[in-house]
Amino acid sequence: MNSFSPNISPNSDGDRPTIRQLDEAAINRIAAGEVVERPASAVKELVENALDAGARHITVDYADGGKTLIRVQDDGCGMTPEELPLALSRHATSKTAGTDLLDIHTFGFRGEALPSLGAVGRLTLATRAQGSSGVELSVLGGDMGTPRPAACNTGTTVTLRDLFYATPARLKFMRSDRAEAQAIGDVVKRLAMAEPFVRFTLRDVSGDGAGRVIFRAEAEQGDLFDALSGRLARVLGHEFAENALPIDATREGLHLTGFAALPTYSRGSAVAQYLFVNGRPVRDKLLVGALRGAYADFLSRDRHPAAALFLDCDPTLVDVNVHPAKSEVRFRDPGVARGLIVSALRHALANAGHRASTTVAGATLGAFTPEPVGARVYQMERRPTQHTGFAEINDVFGRVETPETVVEAEPETDHPLGTARGQVHENYIIAQTATGMVIVDQHAAHERLVYEKLKRQMAENGVARQALLIPEIIDLSAGDSARLMDMADTLAGFGLTIEPFGGTAIAVRETPAILGTVDARALVLDILDELTEQEASSTLQMRIEAILSRVACHGSIRSGRWMRAEEMNALLREMEATPHSGQCNHGRPTYVELKLQDIERLFGRT
């Protein structure tokens, strides 16, 4: 059995360790280990330097996933021959005097990026400032060469070859060329989102030739929102731009702008969430949690919102010096930042009304399997009227008894969700609009309407109650009974009154009047299930909203219920007047709108 002295490290040779001063090369390599994790980290530092230099056009070239070559060229202010050697020295920077590290107005401020890159790779800088001569300087594994004249335009070109050649052990932790290239692309696209007025070009120059353009974004024009919308469409796709809501809100010195997608445009993971603080891309838990909280009322747990949000404030209100890669920040008042995001997004979603994402219609059309277009089509000689509904069809063919509901046509209106023409499978309302048709899931739609009504009632004056003639007695386990009684005051706030009834049983005395006759036992058990699922991580408000969602489900129109024409049209009108009615309580669409030209395309009529 080995033994060792408690005062001496088991990894030492028994002698007292000696404190030594590390040489400059070792210091730079240690700094590089914090700043340059992979090729994408190097690209991030170099592009941020270019933006700090005022560049309007930035070109990024890489080879072999950035392992053998990274080149960043910009048209920024450049450097003079006297400044260049200093720029490659540690803790030398033009971006701060160092007197106040909270008053940071640039991406970089530590002066570590260039010397760190020079310590682990073969780094060459060619630069020229306006009115000055061009100059070039190389650093190989930390050894700085001598400046020499160079022919170059105003701006700077940084070439980094053989990343980690001075620390080859780091290469073992690199991923495949494809994975590293994807990470580089993600970095460039994030920075491009934050700078819509700057032109970005990303090229893969692996092998011979001029290379392949991976990403290009021209400088946008117009005001900030127009430019940002155009840039996001270029980076995230036109579907995001079409289904995103503009965000513009201010609170206590914080200004939030950007775009947030409709709940029905949600994703299966958090890959479409882009957050920026003072133009700096961040992955901050506080901001991610706030974004999730803003959509908590509209999405199920397995769905994630899509958004690109830019939070700007006085630099003294946020500390960006808490992480070597500057990917995390710390706000002076985190509650203000979180509250601003939640309130701004919920306000935007409320103003969207009944709107659902356009991708819903696309997915619906994609599910159709039309007959081959080449087949010969026969048409009836009788030309149908412009607004043919189920009623008119029966007039042509005679009365046909079918399980589907037949609705007499009412005068055409310009309602966004149209006029009800029928009900199929006793669950789906078919409505005709001026430009196409709408299919409504009656249960999902009414569930959302009841939910929103419950929330309004609770916010204004509490939910009206109705007393049960005979209280419902429910036997529960001790844990479930205690959990439910802890929530008794909250439950009473929206109309459900419970009290102990000896042992672990409870008595339900009152239920929400809006539900009419309700199965109180089933309702309570559903609430218990929701509390059990949410208790560990959700706030009280989220639990209440989750319970309200369960209550709404019990009180909504069920699938399989026959509806009269006036009921269907009343549901459509209420949907148009109710915020968030475009998605159910779980983020699924409550209706699908199909344009007439899309329907005609299915039948080969275009």
Task: Tell me the pLDDT tens digit for each residue of 104-113.
Answer: 556 655 557 7
- Give the E-state strand segments of 252-377 in sequence order: 254-261, 273-277, 280-282, 307-313, 318-319, 330-331
Nearest C-alpha neighbor of 166 from the set 20, 25, 23: 25
Q: Quick one: average pLDDT of 165-185?
A: 84
442 pLDDT more than 70: yes
Top-ranked range on mean pLDDT: pick from 56-60, 166-170, 477-481: 56-60
461 pLDDT more than 90: no
Distance, CA of 6 to CA of 19 (rounded, Å): 19
Distance, CA of 171 to CA of 168 (rounded, Å): 5
Q: What pLDDT score does 394 carry?
A: 39
Please indicate whether residue 497 or residue 414 has the higher confidence score (pLDDT): 497
Tell me how far apart the terminal alpha carbons of the chain are, to the nearest angstrom.
Answer: 86
Nearest C-alpha neighbor of 49 from the set 113, 121, 92: 113
26-30, 120-124, 144-148, range with the lowest pLDDT: 26-30
Residue extent(s) of CATH 3.30.1370.100 domains in the chain: 389-606
Q: What pLDDT score does 100 carry?
A: 47
Residue extent(s) of CATH 3.30.230.10 domains in the chain: 224-351
- In whole angstroms, how far apart are CA 243 and each of 261, 271, 306, 342, 489? 6, 17, 10, 19, 40
Please indicate whether residue 183 or residue 557 has the higher confidence score (pLDDT): 183
Beta carbons within 8 Å of 557's beta carbon, 6+ residues apart:
442, 443, 446, 563, 571
Beta carbons within 8 Å of 105's beta carbon, 6+ residues apart:
95, 278, 315
318 in Cβ contact with 331 (< 8 Å): yes
Q: What pLDDT score does 155 carry?
A: 94
Please indicate whether residue 537 or residue 519 has the higher confidence score (pLDDT): 519
Burial environment of residue 245 by CB neighbours within 10 A (0 to 12, 13 to 18, 19 or more): middle
509 in Cβ contact with 473 (< 8 Å): no
387 pLDDT more than 50: no
Host H or E run for residue 430: strand 428-432
Residue with tokens 């946020």: 318
**The two structure tokens encoding residue 605:** 């009529």
Q: Which CATH number fits domain 389-606: 3.30.1370.100, 3.30.1180.10, 3.30.450.20, 1.10.15.40?
A: 3.30.1370.100
At 463, the pLDDT band (50, 70, 90 cuts) reads low
Q: What pLDDT score does 325 carry?
A: 57
Nearest C-alpha neighbor of 555 from the set 511, 587, 592: 511
Q: Quick one: average pLDDT of 123-137?
A: 92
Distance, CA of 81 to CA of 127 (rounded, Å): 8
DSSP-derived secondary structure for 16-43: PP---PPPHHHHHHHHHHHH-SSHHHHH
At 315, the pLDDT band (50, 70, 90 cuts) reads confident
- What is the rounded average pLDDT for all residues in the chain? 79
558 in Cβ contact with 461 (< 8 Å): no
Distance, CA of 264 to CA of 361 (rounded, Å): 11
Q: What pLDDT score does 377 carry?
A: 44
13 in Cβ contact with 156 (< 8 Å): no
At 58, the pLDDT band (50, 70, 90 cuts) reads very high
Q: What pLDDT score does 370 carry?
A: 56
Q: What pLDDT score does 214 carry?
A: 95
Q: What pLDDT score does 322 carry?
A: 58
Q: Quick one: average pLDDT of 413-433?
A: 87
Q: What pLDDT score does 179 carry?
A: 93
422 pLDDT more than 80: yes
- In whole angstroms, how far apart are CA 523 and each of 442, 503, 558? 21, 21, 15
Distance, CA of 151 to CA of 142 (rounded, Å): 25
H helical segments located in 409-487: 442-460, 478-486
Beta carbons within 8 Å of 462's beta carbon, 6+ residues apart:
493, 494, 495
Host H or E run for residue 555: helix 540-555
- In whole angstroms, how far apart are CA 367 and each of 260, 303, 360, 363, 604? 27, 21, 11, 6, 16
> Could you tell me what percent of the chain has a pLDDT over 90?
30
Q: Quick one: average pLDDT of 522-533?
A: 78
Q: Any long-range contacts for 112-116 (C-beta under 8 Å, 24+ apart)?
A: 112/31, 112/35, 113/35, 113/45, 113/46, 113/48, 113/49, 114/49, 114/87, 114/88, 114/158, 115/28, 115/31, 115/88, 115/89, 115/90, 115/139, 116/28, 116/31, 116/32, 116/35, 116/36
Q: Which CATH number fits domain 224-351: 3.90.1150.10, 3.50.50.60, 3.30.230.10, 1.10.3720.10?
A: 3.30.230.10
Q: How many CB atoms lie within 10 A of CB 190?
A: 19
At 595, the pLDDT band (50, 70, 90 cuts) reads confident
- Residue 321 has phi, psi (to 5 degrees) of -100, 35
Nearest C-alpha neighbor of 82 from the set 17, 147, 160: 147
Distance, CA of 430 to CA of 75 (rounded, Å): 58
Residue extent(s) of CATH 3.30.565.10 domains in the chain: 24-95+102-217
Nearest C-alpha neighbor of 84 from the set 94, 69, 75, 74: 94
Q: What is the CATH number of domain 24-95+102-217?
A: 3.30.565.10
> Could you tell me what percent of the chain has a pLDDT over 70?
76
204-208, 267-271, 323-327, 344-348, range with the lowest pLDDT: 323-327
Q: What pLDDT score does 250 carry?
A: 94
Distance, CA of 38 to CA of 36 (rounded, Å): 6
Q: What pLDDT score does 218 carry?
A: 96
**The two structure tokens encoding residue 77:** 């202010």
pTM: 0.67
Q: What pLDDT score does 7 carry?
A: 53
Q: What pLDDT score does 178 carry?
A: 93
- Residue 420 has phi, psi (to 5 degrees) of -65, 130
